[in-house]
Amino acid sequence: MRSEVVAELCGLERFASAGKGRGLRALRRFAVGELLFSCPAYTAVLTASERGSHCDGCFARKEGLSKCGRCKQAFYCNVECQKEDWPMHKLECSAMCAFGQNWNPSETVRLTARILAKQKTHPERTQSEKLLAVKEFESHLDKLDNEKRELIQNDIAALHHFYSKHLEYPDNAALVVLFAQVNCNGFTIEDEELSHLGSAIFPDVALMNHSCCPNVIVTYKGTLAEVRAVKEIEPGEEVFTSYIDLLYPTEDRNNRLRDSYFFDCDCEECVTKEKDKDKLEICKLNDPPSAETVRDMIKYARNVIEEFRRAKHYKSPSELLEICELSLDKMGAVFENSNVYMLHMMYQAMGVCLYVQDWEGALRYGQKIIRPYSKHYPPYSLNVASMWLKLGRLYMALENRPAGVKALKKAIAIMEVAHGKDHPYISEIKTELEDH
C-alpha cells in the first residue's frame, strides 16, 4: 500500500490536504502558462453526436475519416487509430449492429463499460495513474440519496442490457461503487468553443482538489489532459482546479458542489463572497427594488434556468428562444444586464441563434455577454476565451473583419496560456485569420 506522500512527479507530489483528503502539491515554482503535467485518458468515449467529425480513437477533428466496416458508426483517422481503439470499440460494435436505432446507452454507461474492460485487460497500474489509481477514487457512497441510488441502478440495468456479450460483471454492490466513482471523478472533454466532445477518466487529474480561485486549468489535446498554471504557484502550495462553472454566486456554486461532489468550498472567494454583489447586480432605479423583490427574482431565475435545461430535450428552437426572451424581459425589471442570471439566459439564447444559423441574433447576445464575462470569470477563463472565439467567427461570417480579427486575437491571448502556444486549436484560429 502506498503512503499518503507519493514519489515526486515532475515537481509535484500527492499529499494529505488538511480537511480535503488527498491533494496535489507543488514542489517547485510554476509560472503562469507553464505545463504542470499531462495525463493520457485511462479510457474515453466520444459523444454520439460527434461521430464522423472526430476520430473515435484519438478525438482528432478532421475530414475524410474512415468508418468501421462492420457497424459503420465509428470513425477513425487511420488503421492505427482503429486498431488501438478496437479493445474498447468491440464492446459496442456488434451491439450497435444488433440493436440498430435502439442502441442508446448513456455516456456514463459507455464509459463505465470501458473501465470494466480496461481493468480486465490492464490490471497493472497505467500511465494515467502515476499518483492516483482508479480503484482509489472516492465514491461518497454513504452520501447518496435514494434518487441518486435509483439512477445508478438504472445505469446498471442499461449496462447489463447493452453490454452483456463482452463484459464480465462484478456484483451489484461493486457496480454501484464504480458508477458512484465515475459520477464524482469523470471528466467532460470539450472543444475550443466548449462544445461537448465526450467523457473520460483522468486519474491523476482527479487527484486535484477544487477551489473557486483555481491556480491551474485543465484543457484537452485529443484524449490527453493538460494542466497549466493560471497563477504563479510557489513550492509547497496546493494545486487547485475548479470542478464547476465559476460564473455563479457563492450560494449557487456551493449548491452545485454539494449536489455533485458532496462538499462545501472554503476558498477565499466563498468565504469573502467578494464578487457576489457584482454578479447579482440590481437595476439602478430611483425607487430601488425591495430585498424581498430581489429574493423572489433570484428564485424565479433559478427556476427558469432549470426549466430551460429540461426544455432543451423536447421543445423547438423557437419555443426555447421564447423562454429566453420572456425570462430576460421579466428579470430585466430587477437585474442589470451584467447580472449572472441575465447572462445565463442570454448565453442560452445565443446558443439557440447559433443552432438556427441566425448569426446576427447570436452576435447581439454575444456582444452583451462578453464584457461582464471578462469581469466575473477569473483570468485565463476558457468561458471568456470561447466567447471571444465565437464572436470573432461571427464577425468574420458577417464580413466585419476588423472586429473579427480583434476578437480572435483576444481568444488566442487567453488560449496561449490555458492551452499552450503549440495547441492545434490555436494553429487553426491563426489559419482562420490568415484565410480572411
pLDDT at residue 144 is higher than 60: yes
**What does DSSP assign to residue 254?**
H
Q: How confident is the model over 305-314, as a mean pLDDT?
A: 96
**CA-to-CA dists, residue 34 to 40, 227, 232, 413, angstroms:** 18, 9, 9, 14
Per-residue pLDDT reduced to its tens digit, 76-95: 999 999 999 999 999 999 99
Q: How confident is the model over 242-264, as a mean pLDDT?
A: 97
Per-residue pLDDT reduced to its tens digit, 96-115: 999 999 999 999 999 999 99
Name the pTM for this structure.
Answer: 0.94
CB atoms within 10 A of CB 256: 15
The CB-side HSE value for 279 (13 A sphere, CA atoms) comes to 20
**Residue 301: which pLDDT band, with cuts at 50, 70 and 90?**
very high
d(CA 417, CA 381): 10
Q: Give the pLDDT of residue 39.
A: 96
pLDDT at residue 62 is higher than 50: yes
d(CA 73, CA 226): 29
d(CA 227, CA 421): 14
Q: Give the pLDDT of residue 166.
A: 78
Q: Give the pLDDT of residue 35.
A: 97
Per-residue pLDDT reduced to its tens digit, 2-37: 433 344 478 999 999 998 999 999 999 999 999 999
E-only strand ranges, 174-235: 186-190, 196-201, 209-210, 216-221, 224-229
